[in-house]
Structure 1
């Protein structure tokens, strides 16, 4: 069924626009009138290569990203509507009409068209891998097979919201230290590049012996003024080399091991990975996905080669007949408490609940450790900035004191 873009006016004269599917432009206009709005302009939204709609949507919104919160809300709405007995096509129409993101509208319209053509929901979603992850598609497929699609979608929306909440909390905690670091670098650069040269030029003209701190400051300022472009090139080159090495299999594995081994930060990162492992696996198992395929999806979710290798080894052991807890016990990155909780869950038949508890525990630990680390980091950063600025000030004042002593 074709998809049309429209511009319409409501009873109060307010202008609105969006997408609607119908057999013809006339049918599209009639559907709009039935909803209580008056169509001003209706035209077919043709598909470009790559699956994007052309048409009158502003260029700046064509490639607008779909936020995790928007996808979670759409998933939640779909779950509620399906649970209320609304047919799938009607649910998608409601989501298309309610969402304000043009990119999400287009994708949902294409999913609806695919279902109208006879596809199931999971294959229709799989055509948009940039929006719907393998985990999302696999859970929907399991939900369709088990007849519990609304429950699976509800759990999916919970998972996305919990991840986004944790990410937002960590970002909020780290925002101030990052801002302080940026401001500190700008202040030091400004002092060395503009203020210090104007003052120290007086000292160099005197042709007298200067204190070692002042000599070092003048040398640093002169180097920055003359060779700032070399500094920038070196920084850019180092970043490019790091990115290139990190993209190799060996470099990525080494970097991931370093990240896990870093003091304080490595502990937080480790806990985030454990929480993501537990939350994702619990969601997949509760959605009806079998353990081996679920581990494969969890592997793709975790952005760490060390953990991915551990999951690969665990999957091989499980195929050989071992339990999940037994297969993970060979790995150093899964703490004994995690293995014990998984073993209890396997014996009691409540593995999903235990994995959820593991995730909740490590999410809280990651957040509390981040807060403790940043609360310690803030005064340390202020002290370092004070020492650096104090060094610059003292290096400038020492020759001035000597000059005043000579005048006396």
Structure 2
């Protein structure tokens, strides 16, 4: 995604400058509004926010990236230090020295320098958008305003742990089907490139009339052997074009909407995203973030552009004075049971607690779907494998059975 240089003012009127990464200038404005800053000027920039500090190209290429685990551990460590009464500058100095990831150590060093220059912690973190997302920045800003920074860091630790656990479980469940599909594709390529051509030379020696399925396999194999560079180039072009299309705003919205309609994976993606939304929204409200700002920030944390758009529509409805229940119903992404829980939470004034329960419910459903994912995918894989074996058996082994007849009556 492109970079944008921005100028903004925070709640105290102080001028903030930096570089953020986003789809367009509107996304950058949303990030700034979500962190409590008012944008003044946003312009495209060719340079990213991280200063290289005279490092060589080789050192930058081999530098270890900052992972979500680094940020999660950082949140827990900061919470422990602040709760123990350690000054934040001294705590950051200790974390910088003990940082295992050198890249994250440089980020902590920049945080110290920014704090020493008089910036707020949230403003200092905003200089590293690839490390701290808008939701994280908004929570830190709320902690600074309310004086409950240590509690916010503890909640952020729990939130990041939940998010990482959800993603890991999805990856684990999809690992086995992915390996099976890749193995089947490799087997089909080997059969087309090496096995069938060997049988083709045998069939030609006898000059027998071959079955239709065999002629199709031989034609497919011959085409693959002859034009495989063209096919590989076309495949690479299609993949590159698809990736470029999904990086565009319209393409990503269309693809993310289609992903939710996939037969098996769609409902898992939907429920996992809504679980993160409910957990993030509950955390925002519990930390004292206004509902409109909370919906703005939470929509940016959703990794699905279509669901993010729906959440933004909920925010627009709340801004017009509509209730959370009405906007949630209009979004058409919640089940009737969840809508009932939202209605009860809104009427009783405990929407944050009900959102936590909604997140737990979605999490249990995702856990169940992941546990039964293998049993749902295995019949499809077995059917596909059976069809492939049947085609190969009819196309290759059926003529072999007639080779004796072809040898007795050569053409």
Same fold by TM-score greater than 0.5: yes
Count of residues in Structure 1 that have an aligned counterpart in Structure 2: 361
5+ residue gaps in structure 2?
Answer: 1-47
Aligned to 1:37: none
Verify the 8 A CA contact 2:311 2:331 in the aligned structure 1: no
User: Relative to structure 1, is the Cα distance of residues 249 and 126 closer, same or farther in structure 2, using a 3 angstrom cutoff?
Assistant: closer
Q: Following TM superposition, by how much is the alpha carbon of 1:219 offset from its aligned partner in structure 2, in angstroms?
A: 0.8
Deviations 1:196-215 (A, max 9, x none): 10122110232221111211
Deviations 1:130-165 (A, max 9, x none): 111111111111101111100100100111111111
Aligned to 1:74: 74
Verify the 8 A CA contact 1:61 1:102 in the aligned structure 2: no
* Equivalent-residue separation in structure 1 for 2:173 and 2:183 (angstroms): 17
Between stretches 72-81 and 206-215, larger displacement belongs to 206-215
Aligned to 1:123: 123
Aligned to 2:255: 255
RMSD of Structure 2 on Structure 1 (CA): 2.3
Aligned to 1:105: 105
Between stretches 379-388 and 292-301, larger displacement belongs to 379-388
* Equivalent-residue separation in structure 2 for 1:51 and 1:291 (angstroms): 35
Q: Following TM superposition, by how much is the alpha carbon of 1:124 offset from its aligned partner in structure 2, in angstroms?
A: 1.0
Aligned to 2:185: 185
* Equivalent-residue separation in structure 2 for 1:245 and 1:116 (angstroms): 43
* Equivalent-residue separation in structure 2 for 1:309 and 1:60 (angstroms): 35
Deviations 1:296-355 (A, max 9, x none): 111111233332332232222222222212222222222222222122222323222211
* Equivalent-residue separation in structure 1 for 2:62 and 2:53 (angstroms): 8
* Equivalent-residue separation in structure 1 for 2:305 and 2:169 (angstroms): 25
TM-score (norm 2): 0.82
User: Relative to structure 1, is the Cα distance of residues 120 and 245 closer, same or farther in structure 2, using a 3 angstrom cutoff?
Assistant: closer
Verify the 8 A CA contact 2:169 2:370 in the aligned structure 1: no
- Does residue 1:337 correspond to 2:340, yes or no? no
Aligned to 2:312: 312
- Which protein is bigger by CA-based radius of gyration? 1
* Equivalent-residue separation in structure 2 for 1:400 and 1:357 (angstroms): 64
Aligned to 2:237: 237
Q: What secondary structure is seen at the aligned counterpart in 2 of 1:119?
A: coil
TM-score (norm 1): 0.82
* Equivalent-residue separation in structure 2 for 1:178 and 1:332 (angstroms): 31
User: Relative to structure 1, is the Cα distance of residues 57 and 205 closer, same or farther in structure 2, using a 3 angstrom cutoff?
Assistant: closer
User: Relative to structure 1, is the Cα distance of residues 406 and 128 closer, same or farther in structure 2, using a 3 angstrom cutoff?
Assistant: closer
5+ residue gaps in structure 1?
Answer: 1-47
User: Relative to structure 1, is the Cα distance of residues 407 and 268 closer, same or farther in structure 2, using a 3 angstrom cutoff?
Assistant: same
Between stretches 215-224 and 205-214, larger displacement belongs to 205-214
* Equivalent-residue separation in structure 1 for 2:316 and 2:57 (angstroms): 50
Verify the 8 A CA contact 1:341 1:354 in the aligned structure 2: yes
Q: Following TM superposition, by how much is the alpha carbon of 1:388 offset from its aligned partner in structure 2, in angstroms?
A: 1.3
Q: Give runs of aligned pairs for residues 206-355 of structure 1, distance below 5 A.
A: 206-355=206-355
